[in-house]
Structure 1
């Protein structure tokens, strides 16, 4: 067992023992072969979940600038998935807010991701690179956007459907399927 120098996670080297001397062992592979990928619920479109997962994986192995760029890409892809395709990213984020798809603090979070992503994309990091800690914060802000746009609405809809199903199955439900109103 070893510790990955980039992400500090445990790694196992599989070797074939071909003799009594340690020098006779043959390296086969590392386990895991890839860094773990963050999983998102099905409510997040697959392509967006893949890019957001890439942001997490990049951060995990120490590729800070790549992580921030993928976070910015996730923000833009999220707006496009909601039909907001015109204008620059500032306008797209503001449109998400104007259409009440996100709260004000999530709008501000998306803009912070945009600022960091723009710095990385335009090479404005030569003298002042983004730290791993700042990149981690940017990834968390990206996840706030995904939570607000895709995950929380899906959870809310699922809960509402479960409540309605429960009410419809209730012995107090009327014959025509309507439920008497609650007090």
Structure 2
């Protein structure tokens, strides 16, 4: 199973990892269904609780929580997940290649919503801390040429 960083809420990481677990044993439709479930859980985690999954994904974009390509990735997960959920694949089941592609798109949504923003925030905080430490070091150092004690 796949591990996700701590920046992904544990309940969502568990569902996403389950999607990968299904894929690893050849349960392609189940993997895609869990990917769809993951996308919906992502929207709900961001406070988007009302409406269809279409509307929830579009709200993620409207609220600037994802870029356009990530919104489109989420919709692709939704399309194939809907086909799996509504038994529209009885005569044309999801193959491994398609399931892998859908889980890659699911992971792209996780990256866009949880992982990349957390990495950016951590880097921003580290840069600010480094700058603050530099300012503190500069202001607590004695000015140049004042190394001799006062009489």
Q: Secondary structure at the match of 2:6?
A: coil
Distance 2:5 2:136 in 1: 35
- C-alpha displacement of 1:125: 0.4
Q: Secondary structure at the match of 1:41?
A: coil
Unaligned runs of 5+ in 1: 1-36, 176-183
Q: Find the counterpart in structure 2 of residue 19 from structure 1.
A: none
Matched, 1:94 2:94: no
Distance 1:161 1:171 in 2: 15
Aligned length: 140
Which runs of structure 1 show a deviation greater than 6 angstroms over 4 or more consecutive aligned residues?
none
Alignment of 1:63-142 (within 5 A): 63-142=27-106
Question: Over aligned residue pairs, what C-alpha RMSD do you find?
Answer: 1.4
Correspondent of 2:22 among 58, 62, 67: 58
User: What is the TM-score when the length of structure 2 is the normalising length?
Assistant: 0.89
Change (3 A) 1:174 1:83: farther
Q: Secondary structure at the match of 1:170?
A: helix
Give per-residue Cα distances to partners, 1:10-68, cap 9 Å, x unaligned: xxxxxxxxxxxxxxxxxxxxxxxxxxx21100110000000000001110110101100
Distance 1:94 1:139 in 2: 20
Q: Find the counterpart in structure 1 of residue 9 from structure 2.
A: 45
User: What is the TM-score when the length of structure 1 is the normalising length?
Assistant: 0.74
State the structure with bigger RCO (CA 8 A, min sep 6), 1 or 2: 2
- Which structure dedicates a bigger proportion of its chain to strand? 1
- Which structure dedicates a bigger proportion of its chain to helix? 2
Unaligned runs of 5+ in 2: 140-151
- C-alpha displacement of 1:127: 1.1
- C-alpha displacement of 1:171: 4.7
Q: Secondary structure at the match of 2:111?
A: helix
